[in-house]
Structure 1
Amino acid sequence: MKIVDVRATPVAVPFVAPLRWSLGVCTHAVRTVIEVETDDGIIGVGETSGADAAAAVDAHVAPLLRGQHPMLTTRILQALGAGLNLPYTLPQSVFAAVEMACLDAVGRSFGVPVHSLLGGSVRDAIDVCAIVYYRHAAGATTDEVLDEEALCERVGDLAAATGAPVLKLHGGVRPPREELHLLSLLQERTPGARWRLDPNGAWAVATAREVARSLPETRVDIEYLEDPVAHLEGMAQVRRDSPVPLATNMCVTGFADLAPGIRLGSVDVVLADVHYWGGLRANQRMIAVCDAFQLGVGLHGHAELGVSLAAMVHLAAASPSMTYAIDVQRFDLAGDIVQETLPITEGRLAVPSAPGLGVELDHDAVERAHRRYLEQPTGDRIEDPRPASWGVTIPVY
């Protein structure tokens, strides 16, 4: 079994409506789909964030993969890291997509699901955290975002439709006091649900400390506060007197961040990610470090399409200490690239038992998404922190 071809396709899938967060406006989920084909006709698929991976795969990765056995992912990733005569280092997201596609191919060849290749599943289903963004009305300009009442109505419908036990608000968009009030309203619409608040590092340390201390007053069932500030030292300062746990997917994003984050006492929960940690097995190594230092582990999601979502479920299934509900954002997407997206039932995603990742590409949908990417290749966001009419020009309070 040898790899004979590698294909990388940048795609863009639109959101139902533009999403606003602390760093701008997102209009599309922009991803790279990777297909690894073997000499016995098996095709393994991977997906990663952004579109930059496509050019790197075509120019530098594909030649190194041809002739390799897809099972030998350690050797493949080592070759990618050390065998490239490049003036830059390949992003970890490229490693992640390559490994994902190789594991999918191996699973299909052996007739086993990917979680079996990661050590085996320890659970049959995975709890879901439904991600909630401020968003604009469909077709509207970026001058106004969805008002509080409309957002509360949408969240109530989302909670009822999915049964998600946890929801997360991406804040840092409006002044913190307004967002704490909104959280209270959202809790009323979702009785029994837990909430996470994630301003994506938008706040100053003093503001974050004040918000953390104020959270119990809202009477919202807060599971954790995620990335209130954008650096480890600031997170440590906030955490010293925070009555709620702090989580991060922005301050601890690689192995070089783990030691200082642990030493400073910056976080309670580290969020894994199937892309930027460099693959599923790299995430398992990171989780082992967190286990050693008794840190909680969750799983970050952002604009994942069907292939990445499946990979997230396999990782969570094979990770005993990943007890937090995994982030899922698929509810804002106007389409997908797989024939059947994994269903959510009563707030949970069933762990696939089919060979490989358990999903099949919809090649017509991939082609449509690729054409859409070519029509607007600038990416998935407009860097416009806030409309000028709000009278605020920087995302820090």
Structure 2
Amino acid sequence: MRKDIRIAQVRITPIAFRDGPLLNASGIHEPWALRSIVEIETSDGRIGIAETYGDEPMVKVLEQARALVMGLSPFDLNVMEENVRAAIKPGHKADGSVQFELAPGSHTAKNADKVISTMEVAMLDLQGQILGLPVCDLLGGAVRDEVPYSAYLFYKYAEHAGKPYAPDAWGEAVTPEQVVKQAQRMVALYGFKSIKLKGGVFPPAEEIAAMKALAKAFPGVPLRLDPNANWSLETSIAAAKELDDLLEYYEDPAPGQEAMAELAKHCRAPLATNMCVTTMEEFKRNATTHAVKILLSDHHYWGGLRATASLARMCDVFGMGMSMHSNSHLGISLMAMTHAAAAIPNLTYACDTHYPWQEEEVIKGGRIAFHEGSVKVPTVPGLGVELDHAQLEKLHQQYLDCGVRNRNDLAQMRKYDPGFSGISPRY
């Protein structure tokens, strides 16, 4: 009977939502973050949903993929993947894409994996609705009732250039004291039990000072620093002497596996990445170089929730720990991450999430709640969230009005500093 249910419609809606002036190695976030919301409707009227990247090249490949899933059963995940891999090819610079090393999800080489992930999440949502099971049960069952997330701190300006809307409530954070204040507010609001700082923005001595200030303000709380490969190998080795006793893990300070492997010989804190191990080829090479001990997965560009579970098994085999990477996202992605993390026993590090930085939402009931830094794993069928179509239309209109079609942190930073080079590593 379930095989009689077929995919009848696929709707793709690009959206834009307010995003803070968050600084990183490539520059600064634009005022509007882009996402795509995908709805897959079945012949019996059920709707499965997913959230993914919203840059223009991604919207184009999603539109191309629409025909590849029409008529399939929501259970035809393998056929869907075969169809996508045969039809969706890597993009190229001429397609208008802006690709950042610090954001693997921007790489058009991962187009097929990004589309597979999107369609898989929506189809798993449908499977769960049909079977009366939460998505985590389709991945083997939950091994935890709630999934811990980490406070994700950013250096930031108080407001965007041009003042496109009222400034956010977080204020400026460009000094160690302001970073601590940001952390205190985030922990008070969400209850996070670990803290990560996005670095690679200011000279390393300033960022080390911020980590020392955080260690003093939050004694015993696990701390992480992510310079986004914006430090040279020499700088990373020198910094390790001061960071070894502070960090739970040291994420992507130096560029590339070879540099990370050499750095690993000079520091005690384990090295983590979402930059130099983002493909199976890089994973195989890491098994030889032993550069990275902790992998930050991301179902959006690794090929989906099932691929993430398989990646976790490989990490277990090779003695690697696992966490999750994040980009600017809303509640559908947060819930997909939560289901995946709930079903992976060896995902034992609190996951990254940008969710506290986002103020808007597309799901019914508004923003997802955190309890002591964690998100409760849904027990209802499917993903456990539904679209608020009024909000979807509002955010789609913002997409139409804002004019942003490709994330470009470098160009945005040049509105503040015309001489900003974006060259990496800079320190």
Instruction: Give the match's secondary structure for 2:291.
Output: coil
2:264 maps to 1:264: no
Contact 1:341 1:359 in 2 (8 A): no
The 1:394/1:80 distance shift into structure 2, 3 A limit, reads closer
Instruction: Give the match's secondary structure for 1:283.
Output: helix
Aligned counterpart for 2:62 among listed residues 57, 73, 80: 57
Spell out, residue by residue over 1:345-391, the C-alpha distance to the aligned partner (whole angstroms, 9 max, x if none). 11211111111111111212221222222222333343156754998
Letter in 1 for 2:124: L
d(CA) in 2 for partners of 1:183, 1:155: 11
d(CA) in 2 for partners of 1:171, 1:84: 34
Q: With structure 2 as the length reference, what TM-score do the two structures score? A: 0.86
Contact 2:84 2:112 in 1 (8 A): no
**Aligned residue number for residue 327 of structure 1:** 352
The 1:61/1:192 distance shift into structure 2, 3 A limit, reads same
d(CA) in 1 for partners of 2:397, 2:418: 34
**Aligned residue number for residue 378 of structure 1:** 405
**Aligned residue number for residue 16 of structure 2:** 12
Aligned counterpart for 1:30 among listed residues 34, 40, 50: 34
Spell out, residue by residue over 1:50-88, the C-alpha distance to the aligned partner (whole angstroms, 9 max, x if none). 333322122x21112111001111111111112458988
Range with bigger deviation, 353-362 or 188-197:
188-197
Instruction: Give the match's secondary structure for 2:151.
Output: strand
How does 1:213-362 map onto structure 2 within 5 Å? 213-216=241-244, 220=246, 222-339=247-364, 340-362=366-388
The 1:97/1:185 distance shift into structure 2, 3 A limit, reads same
d(CA) in 2 for partners of 1:74, 1:391: 46
Range with bigger deviation, 2-11 or 85-94:
85-94
The 1:201/1:86 distance shift into structure 2, 3 A limit, reads closer
Contact 2:410 2:422 in 1 (8 A): no
Q: Deviation of residue 288 (structure 1)?
A: 1.4
Letter in 1 for 2:348: T
Spell out, residue by residue over 1:226-271, the C-alpha distance to the aligned partner (whole angstroms, 9 max, x if none). 1112211111111112110000001111212111111111100011
d(CA) in 1 for partners of 2:304, 2:374: 23
Spell out, residue by residue over 1:85-131, the C-alpha distance to the aligned partner (whole angstroms, 9 max, x if none). 89887342111111111101111121110001101101101111111
Letter in 2 for 1:336: E
Q: Deviation of residue 213 (structure 1)?
A: 2.1
Q: Tell me how many residue pairs correspond in the alignment.
A: 391
Letter in 2 for 1:34: V
Letter in 2 for 1:210: A
Contact 2:252 2:260 in 1 (8 A): yes
Contact 1:92 1:276 in 2 (8 A): yes
d(CA) in 2 for partners of 1:163, 1:85: 42
The 1:306/1:84 distance shift into structure 2, 3 A limit, reads closer
2:184 maps to 1:153: no
2:128 maps to 1:101: no
Spell out, residue by residue over 1:255-304, the C-alpha distance to the aligned partner (whole angstroms, 9 max, x if none). 12111111111100011101010101111111111111111111111212
2:189 maps to 1:186: no
**Aligned residue number for residue 194 of structure 2:** 166
The 1:91/1:201 distance shift into structure 2, 3 A limit, reads farther
The 1:392/1:74 distance shift into structure 2, 3 A limit, reads closer
**Aligned residue number for residue 112 of structure 1:** 133
d(CA) in 2 for partners of 1:145, 1:394: 24
d(CA) in 2 for partners of 1:172, 1:389: 19
Larger fraction in strand:
1
The 1:20/1:63 distance shift into structure 2, 3 A limit, reads same
d(CA) in 1 for partners of 2:120, 2:309: 13
d(CA) in 1 for partners of 2:363, 2:282: 34
The 1:393/1:76 distance shift into structure 2, 3 A limit, reads closer
Contact 2:173 2:182 in 1 (8 A): no
Q: Deviation of residue 189 (structure 1)?
A: 2.9
Letter in 2 for 1:150: Q
- Structure 2, unaligned stretches of length 5 or more? 93-108, 164-170
Q: Deviation of residue 48 (structure 1)?
A: 1.1
The 1:314/1:153 distance shift into structure 2, 3 A limit, reads same
Range with bigger deviation, 287-296 or 25-34:
25-34
Letter in 1 for 2:407: D
**Aligned residue number for residue 83 of structure 2:** 79
d(CA) in 2 for partners of 1:388, 1:356: 46
